Amino acid sequence: MISDELVEEVRARSDLVGVVGEGVELKKSGKDWKGKCPFHEDRTPSFYVVPDKGFYKCFGCGESGDVFAFVMKQTGMEFLDAVKHLGERFGVEIPDTVRTGGEREDPLQIHYEANAFARTWFRERLLDPVVGLAARAYLDQRGIDAETAERFGLGWAPDDRHGLRAAASKHAFSVELLLETGLLTESERRAEPYDRFRGRLIFPIESLTGRVVGFGGRVLDGGGKGRPKYLNSPESPIYVKGEVLYGLSWNRNSIRREGCALVVEGYMDVVALAAAGISHSVATLGTAMTDQHARLLSRYANKVILLFDSDDAGLRATFRAADLLLSHGAHPSVVTFPAGEDPDTVVRVEGREGLEGYLDSAVDVLDRKLQLLDEKGFFGTIDRVRIAVDKVLPTLRATRDPTLSDIYIARVAERTGVRRETLQAEVVRGRHAGVGSSTSGPDARYLGRSEKGPHGVGRRLSLDRLGAERQMLLVLLRSPEWLDRALERVGPGEFRDPAYRAIFEALIEKPDLSDTSGLSPEASTALEGLCGDTTEIEHPERAFSDYLSVLEDRAFQAQQDELERDLRSASSDDSRRKVLERLDELRRLRRGRWNVVRREGPVGIGEAEPRVNG
């Protein structure tokens, strides 16, 4: 049998309009498409395709279904064959392993079983009268009642390096499997693998079908001293962060009923809102919103409200997410909280009514951009207006709803004084050039079309057009909490471009870039381009590691080449011996040679997961 996860991945990746459009002449009708029904003699178009919801419906004969149903009806295929057919077409590999006796086996089943066991083990630790006492008190303090904790499967990982490992070994889960799922981790300082999650409140992360694919963990205090407040499972054969939204498996029906999804920054926000009776929220998992996230969310709701931090980094994340959502036909709005507030703190202090007040005052994303530009004086001079237009063009280009696009262009024309025809031409020209769209950008390894990867998980094809320096900065601007990890392996000297080097140095000085007054005009222009880039980077953890390796290898190679030149030109045995010693030292110290940490001391690569607010 084919796993539910693979079926959902094929469904999510399939282009329903494209599949139906091969046999039916479709015309745009608002957000939907309509044509003559292929299943009966249809004189007037009564057949509708609703891509946002992933289904078709004929109001003449009553036929309806999803992309699999359409292929089965049109071709006579069985369900499994339809899934395979669409998987092959849209880049999802369907494994064809077979058990003895002919029954097909899911090769990833053992991974799900290991995570299910861990979820139960963590849950039992939370409910233990003694072991889970502090964690239950913390949940009570945060307003999370027992019913909500049970609904989300919250658990507790005791501060024990071998508790889960010992329990799992009794059930024949191998160390290799537990390492691959991320339940165990390794360190050069320790001879044996040990529990990744220790002394943390545990949040199981579920796929759309309710199977546990990973975990998030939060310390009960503020973290620090090498202990990040938040720690997530690394990516694994069953867990890709850019394709999973925390809370969607529990809240998708509420999202459909409300016709609206709330997007928050952390799993604690999702749980806290549910405890307050607000059950239509989801959270990204330590990564910026991806194109896959936006596509998935737009299947459940046309309206999306973004509740991110209101600082500069939060606004950048908000506008990137909004443009991705617009590119999939959703209509995003923005909530602005007072400094230091988030959904969790608001519902704890002001209750559900308090948060609903903020939701009622949510502002359309373009209106919010125009507000901020006005507050910063961008409509006072011709030069500044020109810059303001450039800042809103990515949003205009991303908008796929034709009516909303027309409204947006009219709004910008009115505010800037630029003619509508000029703006429309800029939008069309940018779309043709691939500027500001969610599928254009620096490195197709983590975006664009997919290739078949291990376990049927889509991977991205490598192009690497604009260089690792720009890519690394793009990742760090979206996830500044990863800066310490970057500094363990590279420093400013690895950046050859002066503008990019200056931006990297500014990040080291102030990760939130609250003061960029010292940047040169060239660096400021480069930073503007990076901040306005809405390019999706899927699998950011993998991308981050790859870009680091490129910079690190390039620096190593340059030093090695220089030493080899010195070796060739050495005039004596003593000189050659000294150069060889330096070459040997360089190779030994290649990894981690910077070991620079800004704040609380070094954090191991296995421990430093992206921060998720909560």
Per-residue model confidence as pLDDT tens digits over 28-42: 887 788 999 988 878
CATH for 248-361? 3.40.1360.10
Whether residue 165 has pLDDT greater than 90: yes
pLDDT average, residue stretch 368-395: 93
| Per-residue model confidence (pLDDT) at position 614 | 45
Q: How far apart are CA 31 and CA 41, in angstroms?
A: 25
Please say whether the beta carbons of 251 and 281 come within 8 A: yes
Q: Which spans in 45-78 are helix H?
A: 67-75
- Choice between 439 and 386, residue whose per-residue pLDDT is larger: 386
Rg of the Cα atoms in the chain: 26
pTM for the model: 0.61
- Assign domain 450-588 to its CATH architecture: Orthogonal Bundle (1.10)
| Per-residue model confidence (pLDDT) at position 133 | 97
Domain boundaries, the chain: 4-89, 109-233, 248-361, 370-440, 450-588
CATH for 4-89, among 3.90.580.10, 3.30.9.10, 3.40.47.10, 3.40.50.300? 3.90.580.10
**Residue of 325, 300, 341, 443 whose CA lies nearest to 395:** 325
Per-residue confidence at 99, pLDDT binned at 50, 70, 90?
very low
pLDDT average, residue stretch 550-559: 78
Highest CATH level, class, for 109-233 = alpha beta
The string of pLDDT tens digits covering residues 479-513 is: 888 888 888 788 888 888 888 889 998 888 888 78
Whether residue 140 has pLDDT greater than 80: yes
Q: How far apart are CA 34 and CA 43, in angstroms?
A: 13
The string of pLDDT tens digits covering residues 578-599 is: 877 777 777 665 533 333 333 3
pLDDT average, residue stretch 124-142: 96
- Beta bridge partners, 363, equal 334
Q: What percent of the chain has pLDDT over 90?
A: 41
- Choice between 92 and 225, residue whose per-residue pLDDT is larger: 92
| Per-residue model confidence (pLDDT) at position 538 | 65
3 state SS of 503: helix
The string of pLDDT tens digits covering residues 425-464 is: 888 887 655 554 443 333 333 333 333 333 333 333 232 3
Residue 504 C-beta-side C-alpha neighbours within 13 Å: 24
Q: How far apart are CA 324 and CA 284, in angstroms?
A: 14
How would you write 506-555 as a 3-class SS string?
Answer: HHHHCCCCCCCCCCCHHHHHHHHHHHCCCCCCCCHHHHHHHHHHHHHHHH
| Per-residue model confidence (pLDDT) at position 429 | 80
Torsion, Cα 512 502 495 593, to 10 degrees, reads: -60
DSSP 430-457: HHHHTTT-TT-SS-GGGSSSEE--GGG-
pLDDT average, residue stretch 403-411: 94
Average pLDDT for the chain:
82
pLDDT average, residue stretch 547-566: 79
Q: Which residue, chain included where needed, has tokens 């002066």?
A: 498
pLDDT average, residue stretch 269-283: 95
Residue type, 540: P
Whether residue 348 has pLDDT greater than 70: yes
pLDDT average, residue stretch 101-110: 66
* Residue 232 CA, distance from chain mean position: 13
pLDDT average, residue stretch 219-243: 85
